[in-house]
Structure 1
Amino acid sequence: MKVLEKISTFAGNSFAFWVILFGALSFFFPGGFTWIAPYIALLLGIIMFGMGLTLSLDDFKRVFKAPKVVLAGVVMQYTIMPLLAYGLATLFQLPPEVAVGVILVGCCPGGTASNVMTFLAKGNTALSVSVTAVSTVLAPILTPALTLLFASHWLPVSAGSMFLSIVKIVLVPIALGIVIRLLFQKQVEKSIKVLPLVSVIGIVAVASAVVALNTENIATTGLLIFSVVVLHNVLGLLIGFLVARLFKFDFADQKALSIEVGMQNSGLGSTLAVAHFAPITAVPSAIFSVWHNISGPILATWWGKQHETSGKAGEDNKKVV
């Protein structure tokens, strides 16, 4: 088990590398990865089950302990990123399928990677986990509704079908994971450190399948999509931070909400895109999966070092006094 834990930790720390490596491999050798496509929904279900195993009832109780900041995080999640996505799709005059893909990932809840990044940034990890949990539970209603609102300008959107998909591949696995943790807490606690490995394998497989299905589209529009995805993510991080600062939340909360807003559940975006739209619609989510796992660690490392520097400065001041 310890060997698996070490492998899992290594996989989690080098996640961006594996996404980029297998993304490149699937681009140049698509035949080796297209077989994964029929299993995308299953893979996301496994990832969401793992997320459920990491959650506890306390993560939801925190909503009542600190309702203002949690509610602010959820509202920011479901307003900033969808509006940015719509604005960028309009500004860059994206092709309909690509525009819907950008909007779809913008309407998804935060991903579990945001919790790890918040921890590394010395932010309020408990807040990050709570916002992720609540926004994910609300996803079956809000993600289809917002996608219908913003994306129907480009393509027909079946909000009802998306609702059922999210319930099956997100809500049910998460609920099952929470129940199993409640029933077998000791056993789950022993194996929980292996879960990052499962998540990495699942998300890398999903991203690779999406790239393999869209090699020609990526070759022609990849740079444009990448530029939009980078802007979407960076602006989300920045605006999330500024809004949290405007509300005068403490700095740890500001960091948590910034990362929570900027990092999306791109695996869900890819799955919904493949299930309900053309394959190219999943490309923005796949690229987002790569990019936010580059920008997130960079920001988290910078904030983490700032925290250490300010902590040492505080200790030095105490010594002087």
Structure 2
Amino acid sequence: MSVILKFSQFIQKTFALWVVFFAFIALCFPSAFVWMKAYIPWVLGIIMLGMGMTMTVDDFKGVLQSPKAVFIGVVAQFVIMPGLAYALCQIFQLPAEIAVGVLLVGCCPGGTASNVIAYMAKANTALSVACTSVSTFLAPVLTPAIFYVLASQWIPIDAGSMFIDILKVVIFPIILGVMLRTFFKQKTEQYIQVMPLISVIAIVLIVAAIIAASKASILQSGLLILGVVMLHNGLGFLLGYWASRLFKLPYADAKAVSIEVGMQNSGLGVTLAALHFATSPVTAVPSAIFSLWHNISGPALATYWAAKADNMKEDQS
């Protein structure tokens, strides 16, 4: 087991490199990955099951311990990222298919990777976990509702169907995971240790499948989408941080909210795009590229904040 754990840790630390590597392979040999697209909802369900297996009652106690910070984090998540997505679509006059994809990832809840990045950044990790949990459980209602308001000018949106799909691929697997952790704690402890490795492999396959299915669109508009995604992610970090400071949250809390806002559950965005806009594969590309980019920018930001925290300690000693 120790060998598997070491391998898992290595894969997690080099996650961004694997995403880039397999995205490149998918561009060169799309037929090797395009078949995976049909299984994306199931793959995301496995990731969410793993998330549920790592959750405990203590995670939800964090909401009661710092309700103001959680409230600010969740509101910022569902206001800043959809708002930024809409603004970027208007500023760059994005084609309808790409605009819908950008808005879709913007309306998703916080990503599970944000908790790891918050820990690396020496932020308030408990707050990050609480925000992720609350935003994820609100997603079935808020994601379709906000997406409908912002995206319906470009394309007809079936918010009711999207609500059901989020329940199926996100909420039900998480609840099942929590139940397994509650009733079979000792057995699930063994599986929890390898779940990060499974999640990394799953996300890499999801990104590769979308890249493969959208090769032509990426070659045509890939740089534009990458530029928009980089702005979306970077401004999300920035505005999430300053919104927290505006409401006088402590520095560690502000870092956690910043990371929570900037990092989206892009796997959900890919899945919803694949389910609802299958005739326009490019709609899933912003979510796929977001998954790639925020796993580069997140660790970079965490490294900067961790180094800053270490310097502050040295100055105080």
User: What is the TM-score when the length of structure 2 is the normalising length?
Assistant: 0.98
User: How far does residue 306 in structure 1 lie from its aligned partner after superposition?
Assistant: 0.7
| AA aligned opposite 2:174 | I
Q: CA offset at residue 187 of structure 1?
A: 2.5
C-alpha distance in structure 1 between counterparts of 2:7 and 2:272, whole Å: 30
Q: Aligned residue for 1:84?
A: 84
For residue 196 of structure 1, report the CA deviation from its aligned partner: 1.1
The 8 Å contact of residues 11 and 196 in structure 1, kept in 2 or not, is answered as: no
> Which residue does 1:318 correspond to in 2?
none
2:292: which partner in 1? 290
C-alpha RMSD over aligned residues: 0.8
Shift of 1:66: 1.3
1:267-295 per-position Cα deviation (integer Å, ceiling 9, x unaligned): 00000001101211000000001100110
Match of 1:310 in 2: 312
CA positional deviation for 1:313: 1.5
Q: Quick one: distance in 2 between partners of 1:301 and 1:189?
A: 29
Partner in structure 2 of residue 128 of structure 1: 128
Indicate the SS of the match to 2:249.
Answer: coil
Corresponding residue for residue 178 of structure 1: 178
Q: What is the alpha-carbon distance in structure 2 between the residues aligned to residue 29 and residue 190 of structure 1?
A: 36
Match of 2:109 in 1: 109
1:157 partner amino acid: I
- What corresponds to 2:247 in structure 1? 247
- The 5 A counterparts of 1:147-296 are 147-277=147-277, 278-296=280-298
Paired residues, what number?
Answer: 315
Structure-1 separation of matches of 2:61 and 2:126: 11
Q: Does 1:25 align with 2:25?
A: yes
C-alpha displacement at 1:58, in angstroms? Answer: 1.6
Partner in structure 2 of residue 300 of structure 1:
302
Report the CA distance between 1:314 and its aligned residue: 1.2
Matches of 1:190 and 1:30, distance apart in 2: 35
Structure 2 partner of 1:40: 40
1:96 aligned partner, one-letter code: A
AA of the residue aligned to 1:177: G
Distance 2:190 2:210 in 1: 33
Q: Could you say which residue in structure 2 is the equivalent of 1:71?
A: 71
1:142 positional shift = 0.6
SS at match of 2:193: helix
Q: Give the Cα–Cα distance (whole angstroms) in 1 for the partners of residues 117 and 287 of structure 2.
A: 19
List, as ranges, runs of 4+ consecutive aligned residues in structure 1 with deviation greater than 3 Å.
Answer: none
> What are the superposed Cα offsets for residues 164-222 of structure 1, whole Å, 9 maximum, x if unpaired?
10000000000000011111222323332211101101100000000000000000000
Deviation digits for residues 11-70 of structure 1 (CA, Å, limit 9, x no counterpart): 111110010000000011101001101100000000000000111112112212211111
Structure 2 portions without partners, runs of 5+:
none
Q: Distance in 2 between matches of 1:123 and 1:17?
A: 24
Give the gaps of 5 or more residues in structure 1.
316-321
